[in-house]
């Protein structure tokens, strides 16, 4: 009985266990719900698992970054060895001339509008506001172009982008020479600037990637001389062409093609020559390797090797490189090859992908490795450009102001003159007529330059074939008078009372003889300013690798800052020209060093993007500097001098904090 009870108890216990198992089926101990889950709080085990996964991902990312850095360094070492084996010879010198012409075109572009304004303002009757906008629009276009082409060249290719940029510049420069209206001329010069804006960022990167480390600093400085040549070319051709107003043709009054338009066409020749030369040049092999195009890069490097050694009389030398390391590609360019996609859809996807890649490249300039260098370079580029371009505009404007003051001091003033039945058949210049009376007078086939009539009476007068500039009638009474074939129109009459006045066949535009309007002194100042940088170019090229980029930039900017204080010593026209030449000669070494170190600081995948961003900032500084400095002309010279001194001093001291890149391989 006792045994039976024990057996019964055992069977009941088993039944209870089975019931408990059924009740908890699908719920083990690890899956039990804890009280925090009701409040949306993650389980501690889940937090730990997520932390472990994040640490593992960070380790993998660090390993990948380290592997990528090793790959870049190995490629840089191997590429440097290949370039040393290829030597420096005919290929590099040919590319030097071609890229130099593209850089020369950039230098010419900076001078074109400034030289044609005195003539174009008469052809188009531009207001001061229009002239100011025309002077700034080129820099605005170049700023956009530098940003655009610099970013694209790191993804599409140096040569391809440079060809497209120069082609756009040539087309719109050609169109601008024929534009008759201010709006069209402004539009065409804007796009011409956008085209040439890609020249500087791409040219230095493109040429540097065919140079070995020991040749890089010196030959990039020699390349900088082409910008000086562009200034000399623009000054010399403007001097020789623009004053010859008859070098052109016209079709009535609607279409005028005068000498300044010929000058605009001639200024496009360096870009055209560079464009033709680039057709025979290859893509940068360093860019191709960065984009895993090994075979194309190998063929180009073999071409460089064979060209150089054949020119040196050693055609038997063999290009021994068989395999070049290429970095792992993080992303591939998306191509739609599906038969269902249209050409437009494929283009849209390519464009969207390319834009995303360019944007990512721009953002990467603020990465931990490049953040400080990018900030320092941005400040140095800005301060240098602000001072240089500001003073470059201020110097000739001050010369014009001094000339105007001298001219104004010689003005002739006539009071209460009364002229009746008289024929004016001689030019009137630099005169003020107050409270005069002109009765039944004739003004025939004459030029009026800087003439002002105040509080005067014109009655029964006749004006025919009048050409005027800076000529106004203020508070005058004009009765029974005829204006026939003149450029005297409503804007010339300020607060005047017109009674029975007839305007017949008015001229459109301003038609004063340009031969007297174009002051050759302005061309001479620009020519001398461009020529003055020659000694600085030579010195920087010879000593860039000996002194170092950092000391060259800092020293040149500090010396340039000191040069600005010479302006306080004397302020005649001759003194301004002398100080301008001194400043340009001292500052060019800083420009050369800035451009060399910008190439060397950034890896190949970001080089033209960084150069384009910094050059766009440079053009923004040029716009601000030229606008601010010009606003003080005739008011004070202290503010422009102190502004330029402070900017150059700050930029020069900061430049001394940059890393020395003389021995750095191009990553």
More confident residue, 15 or 186: 186
Residue whose C-alpha is closest to residue 609's, from 325, 249, 362: 362
The whole-model pTM stands at 0.79
Residue 385 scores a pLDDT above 90: yes
What is the full DSSP assignment across 431-451? EEEES-EEES-EEEEEEEEEE
Out of 60-74, 341-355, 392-406, which region has the weakest mean confidence (pLDDT)? 60-74
Residue 82 scores a pLDDT above 50: yes
Average pLDDT over residues 430-452: 92
**Whether the Cβ atoms of residue 433 and residue 417 lie closer than 8 Å to each other:** yes
pLDDT tens-digit map of 547-584 = 888 999 999 999 999 888 888 877 777 888 888 888 88
Percentage of residues in the chain with pLDDT exceeding 90? 37
Tokens at 12, concatenated: 């009941």
Using alpha carbons only, what angle is made at residue 67 by residues 64 and 73, rounded to the nearest 5 degrees? 140
Q: Which residues are registered as beta bridge partners of 498?
A: 478
Average pLDDT over residues 194-213: 91
122-161: string of b/e by CB count within 10 Å (b at 16+)? bbbbbeeebbeebbbbbbbbbbbbbbbbbbbbbbbbbbeb
pLDDT tens-digit map of 309-365 = 888 888 888 888 777 777 665 544 444 444 456 777 777 877 888 888 888 888 888
At 415, the pLDDT band (50, 70, 90 cuts) reads: very high
More confident residue, 619 or 335: 619
Residue 295 scores a pLDDT above 70: yes
Average pLDDT over residues 249-257: 61
Residue 212 scores a pLDDT above 70: yes
Q: Note the pLDDT of residue 573.
A: 79
Tell me how far apart the alpha carbons of residues 153 and 604 are, in angstroms, rounded to a whole number: 10
More confident residue, 588 or 124: 588
Q: Note the pLDDT of residue 340.
A: 55
Average pLDDT, the chain: 82
User: Residue 415: how many CB atoms within 10 A of its CB?
Assistant: 9
What is the full DSSP assignment across 571-597? -SHHHHHHHHHHHHHHHHHHHHHHHHH
Q: Note the pLDDT of residue 112.
A: 86
Q: Note the pLDDT of residue 517.
A: 47
Average pLDDT over residues 420-438: 92
User: CA distances (Å), 524 to each of 232, 235, 402, 624, in order?
Assistant: 10, 7, 16, 26
Query: 3-class SS at 266?
Result: helix
Contacts 24+ apart (CB under 8 A), 292-299: 292/326, 292/327, 292/329, 294/323, 294/324, 294/326, 297/324, 298/324
What single-letter DSSP state applies at residue 506?
Answer: P
Tell me how far apart the alpha carbons of residues 115 and 260 are, in angstroms, rounded to a whole number: 8
Q: Note the pLDDT of residue 34.
A: 46
**Whether the Cβ atoms of residue 109 and residue 192 lie closer than 8 Å to each other:** yes
Q: Note the pLDDT of residue 469.
A: 81
Residues in the chain: 667
Residue whose C-alpha is closest to residue 608's, from 599, 616, 617: 599
More confident residue, 366 or 618: 618
Q: Note the pLDDT of residue 254.
A: 59
What is the full DSSP assignment across 384-420? HHHHHHHHHHHHHHHHHHHHHHHHHHT-EEEES-EEE
Token pair 């003194």 is found at 575
């Amino acid at each position: 009985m006792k045994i039976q009870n024990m057996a019964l108890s055992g069977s009941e216990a088993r039944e209870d266990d089975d019931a408990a198992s059924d009740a908890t089926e699908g719920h083990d101990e690890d899956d039990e719900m804890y009280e925090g889950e009701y409040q949306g709080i993650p389980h501690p085990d889940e937090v730990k698992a997520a932390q472990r996964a994040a640490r593992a991902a960070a380790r993998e990312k660090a390993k990948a970054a380290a592997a990528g850095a090793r790959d870049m360094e190995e490629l840089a070492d191997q590429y440097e060895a290949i370039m040393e084996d290829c030597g420096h010879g005919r290929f590099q010198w040919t590319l030097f001339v071609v890229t130099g012409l593209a850089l020369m075109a950039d230098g010419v572009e900076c001078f074109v509008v400034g030289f044609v304004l005195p003539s174009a303002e008469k052809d188009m009757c531009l207001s001061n506001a229009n002239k100011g906008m025309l002077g700034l629009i080129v820099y605005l276009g170049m700023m956009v172009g530098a940003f655009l082409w610099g970013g694209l060249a790191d993804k599409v290719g140096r040569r391809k982008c440079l060809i497209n940029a120069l082609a756009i510049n040539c087309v719109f420069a050609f169109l601008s020479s024929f534009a008759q209206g201010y709006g069209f001329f402004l539009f065409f010069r804007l796009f011409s600037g956008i085209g040439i804006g890609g020249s500087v960022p791409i040219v230095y990167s493109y040429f540097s990637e065919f140079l070995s480390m020991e040749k890089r600093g010196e030959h990039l400085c020699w390349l900088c001389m082409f910008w000086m040549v562009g200034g000399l070319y623009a000054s010399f051709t403007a001097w020789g062409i623009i004053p010859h107003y008859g070098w052109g043709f016209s079709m009535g009054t609607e279409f005028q093609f005068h000498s300044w338009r010929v000058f605009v066409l001639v200024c496009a020749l360096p870009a055209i020559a560079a464009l033709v030369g680039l057709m025979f040049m290859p893509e940068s092999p360093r860019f191709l390797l960065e984009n895993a195009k090994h075979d194309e890069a190998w063929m180009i490097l073999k071409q460089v090797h064979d060209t150089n050694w054949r020119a040196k009389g050693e055609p038997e030398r063999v290009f021994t490189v068989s395999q070049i390391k290429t970095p792992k590609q993080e992303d591939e360019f998306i191509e739609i090859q599906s038969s269902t996609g249209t050409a437009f859809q494929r283009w849209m996807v390519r464009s969207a992908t390319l834009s995303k890649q360019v944007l990512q490249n721009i953002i990467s300039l603020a990465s931990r490795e490049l953040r400080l260098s990018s900030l320092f370079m941005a400040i140095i580029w800005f301060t240098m450009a602000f001072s240089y371009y500001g003073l470059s505009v201020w110097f000739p404007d001050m010369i014009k102001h001094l000339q105007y003051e001298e001219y104004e001091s010689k003005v002739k003033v006539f009071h209460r003159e009364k002229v009746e039945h008289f024929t004016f058949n001689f030019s009137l210049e630099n005169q003020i007529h107050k409270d005069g009376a002109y009765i039944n007078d004739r003004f025939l086939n004459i030029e009026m330059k800087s003439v002002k009539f105040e509080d005067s009476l014109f009655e029964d007068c006749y004006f025919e074939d009048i050409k005027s500039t800076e000529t106004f009638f203020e508070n005058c009474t004009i009765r029974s008078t005829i204006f026939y074939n003149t450029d005297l129109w409503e804007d010339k009459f300020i607060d005047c009372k017109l009674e029975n006045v007839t305007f017949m066949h008015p001229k459109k535009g301003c038609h004063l003889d340009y031969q007297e309007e174009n002051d050759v002194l302005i061309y001479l100042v620009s020519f001398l300013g461009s020529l003055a940088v020659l000694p600085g170019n030579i010195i920087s090229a010879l000593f860039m690798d000996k002194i170092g980029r950092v000391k060259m930039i800092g020293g040149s900017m500090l010396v340039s800052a000191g040069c600005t204080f010479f302006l306080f010593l004397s302020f005649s026209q001759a003194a301004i020209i002398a100080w301008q030449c001194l400043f340009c000669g001292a500052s060019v070494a800083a420009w050369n060093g800035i451009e060399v170190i910008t190439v060397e600081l950034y890896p190949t995948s970001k080089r033209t993007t960084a150069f384009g961003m910094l050059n766009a900032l440079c053009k923004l500084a040029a716009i601000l500097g030229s606008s601010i400095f010009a606003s003080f002309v005739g008011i004070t010279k202290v503010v422009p001098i102190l502004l330029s001194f402070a900017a150059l001093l700050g930029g020069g001291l900061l430049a001394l904090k940059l890393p020395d890149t003389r021995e750095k391989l191009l990553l």
